[in-house]
Amino acid sequence: MTREIAYELAKKQREISVAEFFERNKHILGFGNPTRAIVTAVKEAVDNSLDACEDARILPDIVVEIRKGERENELMMIVEDNGPGIVEKHIPPIFGKLLYGSRFHSIRQSRGQQGIGISAVVLYGQLSTGKHARILSKIGPDRPAYLFEIGIDTHRNSPEIIRKEIINWDKEHGTRIEIYLVGDYSRGRKYLYEYLQNTSIVNPHARIEFIEPNGERHIFDRVTDELPKPTVELKKPHPHGIEMGTLLKMLKETKTKKLLNFLKNEFVSMGERTSRAVCEKANLDPEMNPKELTREQAMRLLNAFKEVKIMAPPTDCLSPIGELLIKRSLKHETKEISPEFIVATTRSPSVYSGHPFQVEAGIVYGGKLDRESPVKILRFANRVPLLYQQGDCVTTIALSNIDWRRYGLEQRGGKGIPVGPAIFFIHVASTHVPFTSESKEAIADIPEIENEVKLALRECARKMQQHISKKEKRKKTKEKFLLITKILPEIARKSASMLNKPVPNIDNVVTKIMDVVWIDDHIEYEKVKRVQKSLDDFSGKEEHGCITKNRITIVNYKRKPLKFDLYAVIPSEAIVGFVNPKPVKITDKYIKWSLPMIQPTEKFEVYFELAGLKEGDFDENELYVEGIKPEYVIGANKWEGE
């Protein structure tokens, strides 16, 4: 009897198509409800457009349009780009076959990884409306434009071509997709706008136009004409953090005959000397056959990777946004709230489980931001906004585990999301972002990533705290400063005039009242024209640039002469020009002056020029002092070294 039941059960076993699986579990891909469905659909289409444009080295011009459909909550999503287009034979599988793509086996930073995204949108549209997707694509001005109407055969996970024709399209190259789907636009509109705005922040080279169902247009303009640095595919993993199962698989599949060659050939950052050091630390013969390693020997090898100093992985597989462009984007998208301070940082690359990654962070502070509400958190992975599951994301966990009270924000108990007038920006770039689910809405709690996020946020927080401290110091001393610069000299002048006597020296009174070293920072931008020569034809091309003129005034309001060192941090990507007086040191990070002895009430000026920046790239210099008690100084902080 049991044998017959076993045979009956065996008859019911069959392979499940991946399309069938997601047909029944569409929530896994982000289509759990009509509100999120519309955001997910647009996100997948825009991600594809941005990736395609960057691969082809084209500045993206993307149009996102939402139209009302024939029935309630039915919408038509249109996304059109100016990318390189798609070759005719690849259009059906790209849009009609799940797990079809070019990036799954590629070890480099990219938005799409699994090959599920856009085909999942086609599947959701088909399930929710019964209508097929329309794809129009053209790969060049002298090539035809192909129009496909495509569905998905979920049993076979294969595309169904409903219609195919060649049409005229007055576009040199690009792709346009039209997909009907069920979505709640009235509720989803806020999230969709936020997604596009945030996409613009992390893709400052892109121009995105958003057309609503009522015809209203919103343009998120590009703030730079520079394309992101192209990423180079890594052919091999990095040994730091590689997992046991992966190592055993590599040992089994390798074609090398010696362990030393296996380490040198199968991993990045492993040269002759490092490979021998790993073998020595693991107490393994470099000449042994790697296929013969036991599990215990493989574990020793894995531990040796952690103990031997190994060079960081190559960084050309990653394409961070960069400190300057983050600041420009944040300033551009938050101009309506008039923030008083913006800071950003880009950390050096690190590694988790053999995957290189890099963390960037930024803080927007002050202005019209609400001081009584929790800070706003902008989360990104590989230049893609993460809108949902904020509490489950490692970026939020890292932020919540920092004591923000020491940096000037409110936070009960020293844990949790702080309260104050701030926006936090966190971007994780990696060859493999460890998302918590296929919908790619939160990053898994990986210790290495959490630590890097904390370090990046703390770096920004220190600069924010310095700004707040400098502002509070100035505020407290403002009345004194007004008194000694405006009122006292006027009283002395009028008194002398009334008594017909010389104007008295009030230096001693001034120093008694002030008793500080006052440092003022003034920045001006001067537009200049320059002619750039083309390397190909040497034709002159006129461009506009900026010279940033920085004037720092130091006034000694102490009762004794003072001598100390002054440091000015050089903004990233800036080039130092004329400097006066001559500094004792200029590095790629700062300028250092050893100031002469400044007498009480004496004023001393430092001037320097910077090129390579745009107007408004920074509003105040980051100044530090050394050789003087920092509590004496208003306008600069203590120099802590490089």
Residues 349 and 420 reside in one and the same domain: yes
pLDDT, tens only, 149-196:
988 877 777 888 899 999 999 899 999 999 999 888 888 899 999 999
- Answer whether residue 271 is part of any domain: yes
What does the alpha-carbon distance between residue 95 and residue 600 come to, in Å, rounded to a whole number?
Answer: 75
- Tell me which residue of 516, 503, 475 sits closest to 598, measured CA to CA: 516
Residues 334 and 385 reside in one and the same domain: yes
Report CA-CA distances (Å) from 28 to 24, 56, 116, 123, 596: 10, 31, 11, 13, 67
Residues 87 and 111 reside in one and the same domain: yes
Is the preceding peptide bond at 374 cis, omega within 30 degrees of 0?
no
- Answer whether residue 51 is part of any domain: yes
Residues 436 and 511 reside in one and the same domain: no
SS3 state of residue 30: coil
- Answer whether residue 123 is part of any domain: yes
Strands (E), 347-421: 350-352, 355-365, 376-381, 384-386
Instruction: Confirm if 487 and 392 have CB atoms less than 8 A apart.
Output: no
Q: Which long-range contacts (CB under 8 A, 24 or more apart) does 499-508 make?
A: 507/600, 507/601, 508/559
Helices (H), 224-378: 244-253, 259-266, 272-281, 295-307, 323-333
- Tell me which residue of 6, 69, 61 sits closest to 34, measured CA to CA: 69
Tokens, residue 460: 């920004």
Burial of 163 (0-12, 13-18, 19+ CB in 10 A): exposed
- Tell me which residue of 575, 573, 603, 613 sits closest to 591, measured CA to CA: 575
Residues 292 and 327 reside in one and the same domain: no
- In which region does residue 525 sit, left (phi positive, over 0), alpha (psi from -120 to 50) or beta (all else)? beta
CA-based torsion, 298, 301, 302, 303: positive or negative: positive
Instruction: Confirm if 622 and 469 have CB atoms less than 8 A apart.
Output: no
Structural domain that includes position 269:
244-307
Tokens, residue 434: 């460890």
Q: What is the 3-state secondary structure (H, E, C) of 113-167?
A: CCCCHHHHHHHHHHHHHCCCEEEEEECCCCCCEEEEEEEEECCCCEEEEEEEEEE
pLDDT, tens only, 600-619:
888 999 999 998 888 778 77
Residues 100 and 192 reside in one and the same domain: yes
Residues 437 and 327 reside in one and the same domain: yes
Q: What is the 3-state secondary structure (H, E, C) of 535-595?
A: CCCCCEEEEEEEEEEEEEEEEECCCCCECCEEEEECCCCCEEEEEECCCCEECCCEEEEEC
How many CB atoms neighbour CB 476 within 10 A? 10
What does the alpha-carbon distance between residue 238 and residue 367 come to, in Å, rounded to a whole number?
Answer: 44
Among 256, 281, 307, the domain-final residue is 307
pTM recorded for the entire structure: 0.79
SS3 state of residue 505: coil
Specify the CATH number for the domain of residue 269: 1.10.8.50
What does the alpha-carbon distance between residue 599 and residue 511 come to, in Å, rounded to a whole number?
Answer: 11
Tokens, residue 263: 């380490």
Instruction: Confirm if 463 and 471 have CB atoms less than 8 A apart.
Output: no
Output the pLDDT for position 112.
57
Q: What is the largest CA-CA distance in the chain?
A: 126
Residues 149 and 108 reside in one and the same domain: yes
Q: How many CA atoms lie within 13 A of 272 on its CB side?
A: 0
What does the alpha-carbon distance between residue 76 and residue 178 come to, in Å, rounded to a whole number?
Answer: 7
- Answer whether residue 94 is part of any domain: yes
Q: Which long-range contacts (CB under 8 A, 24 or more apart) does 243-248 make?
A: 243/353, 243/354, 244/298, 244/299, 244/302, 246/354, 247/298, 247/301, 247/302, 248/295, 248/298
Output the pLDDT for position 114.
45
What does the alpha-carbon distance between residue 106 and residue 217 come to, in Å, rounded to a whole number?
Answer: 37
Residues 254 and 376 reside in one and the same domain: no
Among 282, 307, 332, the domain-final residue is 307
Output the pLDDT for position 507.
63
Output the pLDDT for position 3.
61
Residues 461 and 582 reside in one and the same domain: no
- Answer whether residue 233 is part of any domain: no
Go through the chain and tell me how many residues it has.
642
Among 307, 341, 357, the domain-final residue is 307
Low-confidence ranges of the chain (pLDDT < 70): 1-32, 99-116, 241, 354, 438-439, 478-485, 505-513, 529-544
Residues 215 and 248 reside in one and the same domain: no
Specify the CATH number for the domain of residue 593: 2.60.40.1170
The radius of gyration of the chain's CA atoms, rounded to the nearest angstrom, is 30
Burial of 81 (0-12, 13-18, 19+ CB in 10 A): buried
Report CA-CA distances (Å) from 347 to 154, 323, 426, 456: 44, 10, 11, 6
| Structural domains counted in the chain | 4
- Answer whether residue 114 is part of any domain: yes
- Answer whether residue 12 is part of any domain: no
Tokens, residue 20: 């069938």
Which residues on neighbouring strands pair with residue 603, listed in sequence order? 555
Specify the CATH number for the domain of residue 149: 3.30.565.10
Specify the CATH number for the domain of residue 363: 3.30.230.10
How many CB atoms neighbour CB 345 within 10 A? 20
Residues 455 and 378 reside in one and the same domain: yes
SS3 state of residue 599: coil
- Answer whether residue 403 is part of any domain: yes
